[in-house]
Structure 1
Amino acid sequence: TQFVSGLWQIHPFGEGNTRTTAVFTIQYLRSMGFNVENNLFANHSWYFRNALVRANYQNIQKGIKRDSVYLERFFRNLLIGENNELRNRFMVVNAPEDMAISTPTSTPTSSDNPLQIDNENISRLIKAIANNRLSVKEMMASVGLKNRENFMEYSLNPAIKEGFVSMLYPDKPRHPRQKYMLTIKGLAVYNSNNLK
């Protein structure tokens, strides 16, 4: 959020800066291994632009401070599949009473919460990896398992499929120095569920 907000603020792309910032952001995230599409940017382009403004605009005399919460909600939807309501009216400064709608919470209800994990094997694996990069052998030792086939079938593969864990070398699954790490979604689960 801070990186994209700061990039947009310095206006490096000239005419069409917001549009180009969106395209750059998509390419940047893809270069880090995220499967990001243009849909959210296209469907909420006005919200994205206004969220960038709110993340950068400040007027001390009028008591208006920078607020990146709206941009954070956008990126939480984009990266970890949350379902925050993205409405421009939530960003109106000093909104009149008839527009004052309670601001949605940044965490969806538990029934559609993408950070809710029902699989105990995945929860244990997320806790084991934490902020580290681990090999299969290191992960198995950390969770106390010895059967590699069972570990792959019931822990690692489901965690990768559900977007909690990714490979360090995704283009070379059998890389001799292959390690595994938490995705942003996995880190969000690790932090929000107090798995530390």
Structure 2
Amino acid sequence: MRIVLPAAEAITPQVTLQVTPQVEALLKIFAGIHSRRELQERLGLSDRENFRKMYLQPAIDKGLVALAFPDQPTSSKQQYYLTEKGKDAVK
């Protein structure tokens, strides 16, 4: 005997946001708006390129972190903040 559940009762897997340990560490240190340098210092990282590739860009790509000046992505005064999605991921 086969049991078929109506669509409303079908069990669906929980969708969770998959982030790397590096992105998770980045999200945990946010407290407002920060420059790249501040974020690197808070994480104790000195290699700018590694920080950008392994921490910052993946967080931006997933919509967890946003640029304060999106029309000037390479500005030396650029700052970053957690999006609502990023705040939810930290909880």
Give the TM-score normalised by the residue count of structure 1.
0.39
1:188 maps to 2:91:
no
Q: Which amino acid aligns with 1:132?
A: G
Which residue is equivalent to 1:172? 72
* Structure 1: 5+ residue stretches without partners: 1-100, 103-107
- RMSD (CA atoms): 1.8
Which of structure 1's runs of 4+ aligned residues deviate more than 3 A? none
Quote the sequence identity (%): 32
Which residue is equivalent to 1:137? 37
Distance 1:153 1:118 in 2: 14
Whose Rg is larger?
1
Distance 2:57 2:85 in 1: 16
Question: 1:175, CA displacement in angstroms?
Answer: 2.4
**Structure showing the higher strand proportion among its residues:** 2
For 2:28, which of 127, 134, 142 is the aligned residue? 127
For 2:55, which of 155, 158, 164 is the aligned residue? 155
Which residue is equivalent to 1:113? 16
Question: 1:118, CA displacement in angstroms?
Answer: 3.8
Q: Which amino acid aligns with 1:171?
A: D
SS of the aligned residue for 1:177 comes to: coil
Q: How does 1:1-196 map to 2 (within 5 A)?
A: 109=14, 112-114=15-17, 117-129=18-30, 131-190=31-90, 192=91
SS of the aligned residue for 1:137 comes to: helix
Q: What count of residue pairs does the alignment treat as equivalent?
A: 81
Change (3 A) 1:150 1:164: same
Distance 1:173 1:139 in 2: 16
* Structure 2: 5+ residue stretches without partners: 1-7
